[in-house]
Amino acid sequence: MSLRERLALAEDPRAGIGVQLEHSSAFAYQDLKKTMHQLILDRIDLERLKRLTPEQFKHELALLVQRIIEDERIVLNQSERHHLVLDIQHEMLGFGPLEPLLADPGVSDILVNTHDKVYVERTGRLELTGVTFHDNAHLMKIIEKIVSRVGRRVDESSPMVDARLPDGSRVNAIIPPLAVDGPILSIRRFSSNPLTVERLLEFKSLTPPMVQVLEALGHAKLNILISGGTGSGKTTLLNVLSGAIPGTERIVTIEDAAELQLRQPHVVRLETRPPNLEGKGEVTQRALVRNALRMRPDRIILGEVRGAEAIDMLQAMNTGHEGSLATIHANSPRDALARLENMVGMAGVNLTSRAVRQQICAAVTVVMQVSRLTDGARKLVSLQEVTGMEGDVIAMHEIFRFEQTGVDANGRVLGAFSATGVRPRFADRLRLYGAPVPDSVFDPNRFFE
């Protein structure tokens, strides 16, 4: 069947009505685009195109698509031609059907559940899009293109992979045989312009008194642990906190997939490496933390602590690398410290529970809990200070909290931020480091909705 016949099938009113016609047209268009792509590959001079700039490549590609449309005598209006040219450019130069979603600043997550179901998250809520891939093989090609750009692979012997896009967005892919119905792709978007303190205040994710304390904590070089669930905003808050670090300090970041967007001039970014086909060559976060200690860092930022590297991170915080930051998955500040203790046990060190807790108390000063509420809003719901040991238990004082009072008719969460009235012990250190905060910041009678 020629390209013209395929297009005619999509336009033929006898092809069906309602949803059937919609599905038939969508399939015919995907088939048309796939065949057009193959014709271009047959006609194109790849060696010549390698010498062109991206803009010149796009221009040459557009001319070639127009020529094929005319040769095949396909009836398309100007708008349809424009969309077809764009789709072919996305296919050859980018990530195919994902490109329009990646260009949409309102999309925070892209979730591909096999080739024919693509969901996105906007303002904290999931919605199904009309974006589809031609088939699962097409989706696999896009996944392979993404992971190969960062030197990683995905196949039957290694069916799970973490990667990142050029803009720093986090990517996870899992394919058959582990994914029963077909390849699954998850993309956690990160804005090219990271959220600022002003934007977080605008979104009511925190309050002005909290901002005063956060900026002072960064200036006074206190070790901070950020706790929260998946998609709660841990990395966003980590980026904001890092903004308080002076530009004169040397920062080493360690991540599974590099996504932090620090603005300081002296930043060294390290990234883990998975094992190769022979199961060798793996570089873990723990190895990178150990190596970072030999790189003369002023501060170490660990994207997420999730294993044996916890003991090395605590030792780094206790041996002169003050002001270090890390995130951890947990449902509360207390759970975060319990998880940290369990992770130290994974390192195989021969320490008693009390000794591990003493290490934690000496290393971590502040634990911040961020949460994603039922309406999709992300908030800093608790800021607690680690004050020491009371017997065999780690003592903590809550300094700020968000208390939910209900939900309105539109499903929006109601509640207010407030201080607890406790003056933290670290207030004296803030003053010594030239970053004092007034006592009014800790006034429990001030509420922020």
> Identity (one letter) of the amino acid at 268?
V
The domain 94-191: what is its CATH number? 3.30.450.370
Looking at residues 248-268, what average pLDDT do you find?
Answer: 84
How much is the pLDDT for 65?
73
Between 42-51, 346-355, 368-377, the lowest mean confidence (pLDDT) is in: 42-51
Asked if 94-191 and 197-448 have one fold, the answer is no
How much is the pLDDT for 5?
47
Between 20-29, 218-227, 229-238, the lowest mean confidence (pLDDT) is in: 20-29
DSSP string of 382-421? Answer: EEEEEEEEETTEEEEEEEEEEEEEEE-TTS-EEEEEEE-S
> Identity (one letter) of the amino acid at 242?
S
Between 58-62, 169-173, 216-220, the lowest mean confidence (pLDDT) is in: 58-62
> Identity (one letter) of the amino acid at 33?
K
The domains of the chain are located at 1-93, 94-191, 197-448
pLDDT tens digits, 386-432: 999 998 899 999 999 999 999 888 888 999 999 999 999 999 999 99
pLDDT at 113 over 60: yes
Which residue would you say has higher pLDDT here, 394 or 375?
394
Average pLDDT, the chain: 82
> Rounded distance, CA 68 to CA 380, Å?
55
pLDDT at 292 over 50: yes
The pair of three-digit structure tokens given for residue 295, joined into one six-digit string: 């790189």
Which residue would you say has higher pLDDT here, 228 or 274?
228
pLDDT at 37 over 70: no
Which residue would you say has higher pLDDT here, 359 or 4?
359
Partners of 367 in beta bridges: 225, 384
Alpha helices, DSSP H, located in 44-156: 46-49, 54-71, 78-93, 99-102, 136-148
> Rounded distance, CA 233 to CA 108, Å?
11
Per-residue pLDDT band at 119 (split at 50, 70, 90):
very high
Closest CA to 404 of 378, 370, 376, 381: 381
Highest mean pLDDT among 73-82, 256-265, 411-420: 411-420
How much is the pLDDT for 235?
85
Between 61-65, 78-82, 306-310, 415-419, the lowest mean confidence (pLDDT) is in: 78-82
Instruction: Tally Cβ neighbours within 10 Å of residue 300.
Output: 26
Partners of 390 in beta bridges: 393
Q: To which H or E segment does residue 447 belong?
A: strand 447-448
pLDDT tens digits, 339-353: 999 999 888 888 888
> Rounded distance, CA 283 to CA 291, Å?
11
pLDDT at 57 over 90: no
Q: To which H or E segment does residue 241 belong?
A: helix 234-242
pLDDT at 53 over 90: no
Which residue would you say has higher pLDDT here, 61 or 176?
176
Which residue would you say has higher pLDDT here, 440 or 80?
440
How much is the pLDDT for 32?
65
Between 32-46, 269-283, 369-383, the lowest mean confidence (pLDDT) is in: 32-46
Going through 262-356 in order, the beta strands assigned E by DSSP cover 267-271, 299-302, 325-329
> Rounded distance, CA 97 to CA 118, Å?
10
Q: Are 373 and 404 in contact (CB under 8 A)?
A: yes
How much is the pLDDT for 449?
80
Per-residue pLDDT band at 89 (split at 50, 70, 90):
confident
Report whether CATH 3.40.50.300 matches the domain 197-448: yes
